[in-house]
């Protein structure tokens, strides 16, 4: 999958269009935040732009300044809404095959609600 060619049939595009329901947390003109269906932490939401962006690089290159500002503002707003700003949270965005990206629509996982431990990187051989 090219990291700049967007597939309009991906699950997040279908959620944005209302074809698939989600457990919505927050929405604005440019973003949608909803609970992950397979949570890895007590609080685990996905923050996605509504535009057709595959990765953070694609978003940085192709999204308008208004979309970019709205996306990062949504992440901050949701952290405050979920009351996780003080204790902390983790943001993760997987990109491409080596980054284990499963849905090729830019999304950030916001995880919190417990001590998540260190990020464990694979040992180098």
75 membership: H or E segment, kind and range: helix 65-81
Measure the CA–CA gap between 12 and 106, rounded to whole angstroms. 9
Kindly list the catalytic residues: 107
Label residue 68 exposed, middle or buried (CB < 10 Å: 0-12, 13-18, 19+): middle
Evaluate whether 91 touches 110 at the Cβ level (below 8 Å).
yes
Residue with tokens 């204790």: 87
Residue 72 makes CB contacts below 8 A (sequence gap 6+) with none
Give the pair of three-digit tokens for residue 105.
């629509």
């Amino acid at each position: 999958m090219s990291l700049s060619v967007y597939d309009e049939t991906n699950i997040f595009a279908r959620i944005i269009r209302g074809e698939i329901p989600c457990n919505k947390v927050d929405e604005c003109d440019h973003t949608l935040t909803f609970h992950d269906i397979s949570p890895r932490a007590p609080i685990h939401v996905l923050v996605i732009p509504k535009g057709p962006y595959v990765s953070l690089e694609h978003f940085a290159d192709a999204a308008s300044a208004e979309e970019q500002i709205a996306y990062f503002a949504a992440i901050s707003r949701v952290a405050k809404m979920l009351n996780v700003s003080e204790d902390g949270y983790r943001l993760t965005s997987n990109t491409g095959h080596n980054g284990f990206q499963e849905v090729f629509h830019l999304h950030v996982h916001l995880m919190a609600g417990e001590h998540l431990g260190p990020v464990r990187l694979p040992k180098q051989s």
